[in-house]
């Protein structure tokens, strides 16, 4: 009897009821060659599927989940190279490492010469597998934060310069009866128009380069619409703040002074 994962069911029993089906496991291609294993190593017995379990990321988050067969130890191939590493998972209330001594004694009660390579938490194993992608994500986040600050400073500087260059024009608007709100909207509209063009160009470039970041993504597509929409919204809001500050200053222009401005 055996328990299989959902990837195996999708691949070999799509649209069928897998419980009760019989399967026969085999060796991977890199081992199933003459001279690598002793004769008879590939002689597996037929197994009946008695259960289906969820997929587990066995080889890292970025790796595809292969079809997996879980079989009783007594039915597994009796070849040393295929039995060179076994793991025991213990569920415990509280700190599981406090049970380390009891686990060792249980293993050694079955085989005193059995070496125990190491003991650790499942959380630690998961964290170790995520260390490299987390470091890459941290660096990218740092660079993205710096880029966001630079964009904020750049937009603020550009709009401030534009307001300074148009002091006379804004003063004429105010002298002819335009309200502070009118001037505010005028400056914001023109500033955000430039920001909109920049965001559109940036999104196109990001879509073209997103495939290079695929190895750092988990369960998120390189062209995920929600991600691009949220980033564009964030940039828009930050740029709006950067435009608002000089636009608000433009509403305080004194018309008489602006008309004398050179």
Nearest to 147 by CA among 190, 110, 95, 202: 202
Q: Do 78 and 54 touch, CB atoms closer than 8 A?
A: no
Host H or E run for residue 70: strand 69-70
Does residue 107 carry a pLDDT above 70?
A: yes
Cα 183 to Cα 144: distance, rounded to the nearest angstrom: 33
Q: Do 141 and 232 touch, CB atoms closer than 8 A?
A: no
Helices (H), 166-179: 167-175
Identify the pLDDT of residue 214: 67
Q: How would you list the strands of the sheet with 2-5, edge to edge?
A: 22-24, 46-53, 2-5, 69-70
Q: Do 28 and 52 touch, CB atoms closer than 8 A?
A: no
3-23 per-position pLDDT tens digit? 999 999 999 998 899 999 998
229-249 per-position pLDDT tens digit? 888 888 888 888 888 887 777
Identify the pLDDT of residue 5: 92
Cα 84 to Cα 29: distance, rounded to the nearest angstrom: 19
Sign of the CA dihedral running 221, 222, 226, 227? positive
What phi and psi values does residue 52 have, to the nearest 5 degrees?
-130, 130
Comparison of pLDDT for 46 and 33, the residue scoring more: 46
Identify the pLDDT of residue 78: 60
Cα 193 to Cα 248: distance, rounded to the nearest angstrom: 17
Cα 4 to Cα 68: distance, rounded to the nearest angstrom: 6
Cα 204 to Cα 219: distance, rounded to the nearest angstrom: 22
Sign of the CA dihedral running 184, 186, 192, 198? negative
Q: What is the mean pLDDT of residues 120-134?
A: 81
Does residue 65 carry a pLDDT above 80?
A: yes
Cα 213 to Cα 157: distance, rounded to the nearest angstrom: 31
């Amino acid at each position: 009897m055996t328990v299989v994962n959902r990837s195996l069911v999708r691949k070999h029993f799509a649209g069928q009821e897998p419980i009760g089906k019989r399967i026969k496991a085999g060796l991977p291609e890199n081992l199933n060659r003459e001279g690598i294993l002793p004769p008879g190593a590939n002689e597996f017995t037929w197994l009946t599927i008695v259960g289906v379990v969820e997929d587990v990321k066995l080889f890292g988050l970025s790796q595809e989940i292969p079809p997996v067969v879980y079989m009783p130890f007594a039915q597994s191939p009796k070849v040393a190279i295929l039995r060179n590493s076994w793991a025991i998972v213990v569920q415990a209330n509280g700190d599981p490492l406090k049970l380390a001594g009891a686990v060792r004694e249980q293993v050694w009660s079955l085989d005193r010469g059995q070496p125990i390579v190491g003991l650790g938490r499942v959380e630690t194993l998961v964290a170790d597998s995520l260390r490299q992608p987390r470091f890459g994500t941290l660096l990218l986040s740092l660079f993205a934060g710096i880029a966001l600050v630079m964009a904020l400073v750049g937009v603020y500087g550009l709009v401030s310069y534009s307001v300074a260059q148009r002091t006379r024009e804004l003063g004429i608007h105010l002298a002819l009866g335009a309200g502070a709100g009118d001037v505010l909207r005028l400056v914001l509209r023109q500033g955000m128009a430039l920001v909109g063009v920049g965001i559109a160009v940036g999104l196109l470039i990001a879509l073209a380069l997103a495939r290079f970041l695929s190895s750092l993504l988990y369960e998120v597509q390189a062209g995920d619409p929600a991600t691009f929409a949220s980033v564009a919204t964030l940039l828009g809001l930050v740029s709006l703040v950067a435009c608002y500050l000089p636009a608000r200053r433009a509403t305080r222009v004194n018309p008489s002074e602006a008309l004398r401005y050179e």
